Each structure stands twice: as structure tokens, then as C-alpha cells.
With several copies, the nearest count.
Chain A
Amino acid sequence: MAEAINEAIRMEMRRDKEIVLLGQDIGAYGGTFGVYKGLFDEFGSERVRDGPLCEAATTGFGIGLALAGHPTIVEIEFIDFITLASDALVNQAAKMRYFFGGQVRVPLVVRTPIVSRLGLGAQHSQSLEAWLMHVPGLRVIIPSNGADAKGLMLTALRDGNPTVFIEHVRLYASRGPVPEQDEPIPLGKLRTARHGNDVTIITYGGMVKPCVDAAEQAAKDGIECEVLDLRTLSPLDREGLCQSVRRTGRAVVAHEAVKTGGAGAEIAQSVVEGAFDYLKAPIIRVASKDLPIPTGTLQDLVFPSAVDVEAAVRQVMQ
């Protein structure tokens, strides 16, 4: 997926000379996780701007560049540090167009990875997408594969609105078909990762593959799960997920973020609001335990696994 994102940004930077990248370690180093490999060499230090360690001002600079008409990508090295960019995102980028009566556009894309399960501990393993979902005026994109990542990044760079593009670090190395051409993917349209009529598993990002794996396991016992990959959390494809649940009558929602206050609650309640009469069982959430993330062997007890998803599927089938 890293290459697909790199390719999308490279294509768009060639097309649109106004695009600027800001962040730390994004120069010759190519970004903390190497997503920018080669961009510095191709586009130079004016457009690929390696800078000091100051997430708040870096995001503010990004907003200023965006206001001036530069689609700008700010990289926040771990989503755990989005806290430092949150004021600029929440109180400025997301609201400016609105409170200035539509006079300005903020074509800002904040790229940031979720770095879970690597054993980096409580300050480097979080999933904070739910925060961003709760901010009107922000787009929240979270792809699960290279093809989607490429198409969604192209969309994000042309959309002209403040966007947080969340990348799951475990997916960077994932391989898969990625279209050569310029094929933007519309926001707010989920992808059906697997078809099935018994249970709808709703997920996104790093949990898509475990959910598909769980579905394959359940299929061995004749339980056919539909796995929905939301792709974007804002806008949220409520109609798309309700359509599926109206057919299956059962829903499991899975994510790596801690359960309480996570995106899963919003997704589940969206199902209740749009498909309650079709529900044959309570919606179950599969998520991380409500704990700071420990290192070492304890870590695996906190994050949800394919096994947990499968167990939830069997539970809603009862």
C-alpha cells in the first residue's frame, strides 16, 4: 500500500505543480515509514519540505499554504501525535470555510499512520480516528489496500477540503493489484470485501483482513459473512451498510481502536437508525480493550484478532 500512496502523490504532484508536502523526515529519508521514497529527489526541497519537530505549527503552515491555493500534505508521524495538530485541525481547518461564509477553501491532507501491534507501547499504538469523525468539516479516509489508497488519495488531493488520511502501518507492505491509471474513488462509498447473507461485518483499515479471515473460517461451518470495508469514516456510507444489514439481519462491527467511544459505536447506532426492524440479534462490537496499550506479551491481549471477530459472528448467529 505504501507504494500505491507514493504513486498517487507522485502522479498528482506531476500534474499539479502547486502541491507541497510538509513534515518531519520526509526529505531524502522518505518519511518515517518510507511512503515518500523518491519524492524528494524528483520534486526537490521546495515542494517536499523537511522541517523542524513542531506538529502544531507544521499543520498551521499547511493550512496557510492550503488557503493560498496549494493542495498541501502534512505528515504526522504517528496518529498518536494528532493531539498536537488537533487544534489546527479542529478549530481552524475544519471550520474556517464555514465561519468565513464560504470565502476560503482548505485543500489540506493530513497523512498519519496507525502503528498498532508493533510493541511500541501506549504512546505509539493508538487509533484515534473516532476523534476526527466527530469533527464536522473534516473528511476522514482510512483505506485497507493499495488500490483504494491510490484512488482515495487522488480524490483527497482534488477534493479541496481538510482531510485526514489514515494509513495502517501493517498494510504498507501489503501487495495487491493497483490500477495504473488515474482513477479517483468517490468518498462515502463503502467496498464489499466479501459477499454473504448471514452476517454483516462492518470494518475498515487494518481490521479488514482479519475480518475476511474470520469470515472464511465461519464459512467452513456454512456461515456466510458479508464484509464491508467503509474506506471513509467521514462521510460515512450509512445507506450502504444498512442495505447489507437489512439483508443479513445481523451485524458485527470491528476496529482496532479501544471500544468505548470508538467509531464502532457510531456505526452500530447508524445501523439501529437505519435497519432496526431487520435486526435479528444485538449488534456486537469487536475492538481493543479499554486500556492504554502495553508492550510485550500483554499487547496481544488488548488488540482484537480474527478469532475474536469469528467468535462475535457465531454469537450473533445464535
Chain B
Amino acid sequence: MNNNNNDDVNSELLLRWYEQMWTIRFFEENAISSFRKGLFGGSTHPCICQEAICVGAASALNPTDQVFATYRGHGHAIAKGLDLKSLMAELLCKQTGCSGGRGGSMHLCDVSKDFWGTNAIVAAHIPIAAGMALSNKLRGNGRVTVVFFGDGASCEGAFFETLNMATLWKVPVVFVCENNGYAISVPTKLAIPIENIAQRADGFGLPGVTVDGNEPIAVYGAMKQAVARARQGEGPTLLECKTVRWERHSAISAGKYENEDAAEAWKRADPIPRLEAELRRRGISDDELLSRKERARTVNDEAMQFAIDSAVPAPESVADSVFA
């Protein structure tokens, strides 16, 4: 594993990641199964196989750093410390959900945790995140804003315009592109004429870095540098985390996986067994690993039960919170 400038990566941290990755994985599996059971409508976009980005990136942040993510951001919400119960309750559109049950799977938010929400318009949240980063700069509060988005988003005008303005103004933001190889059915090679999305940065004068997004240590290391750079007032970084998307775009995406090979690829790429191997190498016992995994399962089962038991929002609340 790539260990450069990660002296602070010890077994305890890896174990925490290991447990958290299982927490995310089980959350997404519950999300899919409860969607299939009809416990909620719409759809849900799992980040299965992308968990290493969630934990590696979050570990490089302070609690007061702000995070913006997409509909595929359940894992980022969990990594930012949102309450698992309130998240699953939101997926089920319950009153106890983190967004009051009216946002659903694509609109998770907890401002008290500085998780500024997941968004369902591709790339639209990128300038918004940069705007919050500009506020950090104006206030000199030392905070950094991180925005996660996909490879598809890296073709949208809002993304490019933001790279230009954020670099120009040296705002403390980190752009994290989770390149999972697909935008719904469109493979990146049919959408992007360059090899690495990090290369986008060259046209705007900010650093672009590409890492293996399924290696939490690599993500963590690159994030620490990008965050430090932003905190020191040197401006934004574009960090591309190459990863692999789980079977399909969302729980309702038509038919089977668009590409058979890729369908299997994620299993090979699955970051959890890889981290597990690393932990074993470091002499962590099977019991320890198993107990962490079980704990991850337990908290998710509790969250699931909580969500199911929770009440739906009161009908009379439908018109609340349109205006402040």
C-alpha cells in the first residue's frame, strides 16, 4: 500500500476505517433491500465499493470543515459522523429523518455536523461548496470545504466555471472527483477525452492529483495534502479518486449492469477485503476484525429498526420550512 507521508496511519486508525467501511456497506445493503421491499419510493444510489474514499477523506478533516456530496453520498454522511438512525429514517422518509423525512435518499443533511447535504442535480453543488469556502476565507476561520462529485459531473459547466473562480480567488476548497467509471450507463471513455480527470486542473492552474480510490491510505494521504494546502490559503486542489461502481447506478436502474466485466470488477476492487488483508498483515486478530464487523452490522440493524418504527411526517407540516 502507498504509505507516503502517512506516518500517522496506525492499526487503530485502520481498524476504525475497517469498521466504518462495514458500517457504510451494511447501510447501503439495508438501503437497497428496504427499497426493494417497498419501504420507500424514488430510488437510492449506493456507494458500495467506494467506501474507502469516504473514510480516507473524512479522516483528513476537522469536525468543523464542511462537506457537500451527491445523491451517492450516504457514505460521506456516515463518515462525517451523522447519526445512522436519522439517516436510515430519512431514506424511509420518516419524521425522525435528518431532513425531516421530506428529502429522502438524495437529500441527507445535518448542519450541526457541518455536513451541508447531498444533492441530486449533478455538479450544481460544486459552486455552492466553493461559495461556502469563500466564506471561510472571508472570515479567516481556518475551515476547509470539501465537495464530492462524480466523473460525469466533471463534464458540467458548473464544475468548470467553479474551478476557474475558486482558483482565481484561492478559496479553501477541495474538489474530490469520485471516478467510478460510469455516469449511469455512459463509460467515462465515451464522455471524457483525457486519461485522468485530474488533468482538468491544468486548464485552470490548480493542482490535480489522481489516486487509487479503493486504497483508504492513498486517499487519506492525498486529502491531507490538499486540505493543508487549502488551510494555508494556497487555494483549491482537484483530487481524482479512481474507483469502481457497484453493480448498477441506482436500485431502480434498468436491467442489469451495462458492462459485464465491470460488473465483476468491483468485487476484485472491493476495498474491504484489501484493508482486511492489510490489517491481518499488521497482526490484527480475526476475532477483532469480526467483532468490528459485527458492531457495524448491529448499529445498522438498530438504525433500520428505528427507521421502521418511526412515524411519518405530520401531514400539516407539508407547507413548513419553505421560507425562513
CA distance A53 to B155 in the complex (A): 6
Docked complex: B125-166 residues within 8 A CB-CB of A: 125-136, 138, 152-153, 155-158, 161-162, 164-165
Contacts of A60 in B (CB 8 A): 124-128, 130-131, 158, 162
Chain A positions 279 through 294: 1 when the CB is less than 8 Å from some CB of chain B, otherwise 0: 0000000000101101
- Of B100, B104, B126, which one neighbours A119 at CB under 8 angstroms? B104
Contacts of B13 in A (CB 8 A): none
Contacts of B120 in A (CB 8 A): 120-121, 123-124
Question: If A60-B126, A97-B324, A161-B324 touch, does A301 touch B315 (CB 8 Å cutoff)?
Answer: yes
- Of A29, A34, A99, which one neighbours B107 at CB under 8 angstroms? A99
- By beta carbon, the residue of chain B nearest A117 is B41
CB pairs A–B below 8 angstroms (25 shown): A34-B254, A49-B169, A50-B185, A51-B168, A52-B190, A53-B191, A54-B156, A60-B158, A64-B131, A68-B131, A69-B135, A97-B321, A98-B322, A101-B103, A102-B320, A107-B324, A120-B41, A120-B43, A121-B107, A122-B107, A123-B119, A124-B106, A291-B322, A294-B318, A296-B312
Q: Is A28 an interface residue (CB 8 A)?
A: yes
In the complex, identify which listed stretch (A19-27, A203-211, A220-228, A310-318) lies at the interface while the others stay far away.
A19-27
Question: If A81-B121, A302-B318 touch, does A296 touch B104 (CB 8 Å cutoff)?
Answer: yes
CA distance A121 to B123 in the complex (A): 17
CA distance A92 to B158 in the complex (A): 13
> Are B190 and A65 closer than 8 Å at their CB atoms?
no
> Are A121 and B103 closer than 8 Å at their CB atoms?
yes
Interface residues on B, range: 35 or more
Contacts of B125 in A (CB 8 A): 60, 92
Q: Is B9 an interface residue (CB 8 A)?
A: no
Q: Is A265 an interface residue (CB 8 A)?
A: no
Interface residues of A (CB under 8 A from B): 20, 24-25, 27-30, 32, 34, 46-47, 49-54, 56-70, 80-81, 84, 87-88, 91-92, 96-107, 118-124, 136-137, 139, 159-161, 289, 291-292, 294-299, 301-302
In the complex, identify which listed stretch (B108-116, B277-285, B291-299) lies at the interface while the others stay far away.
B108-116
CA distance A47 to B139 in the complex (A): 11
- Of A61, A91, A295, which one neighbours B103 at CB under 8 angstroms? A295
Q: Is B117 an interface residue (CB 8 A)?
A: yes
Question: If A51-B165, A104-B109 touch, does A64 touch B132 (CB 8 Å cutoff)?
Answer: yes
CA distance A50 to B323 in the complex (A): 29
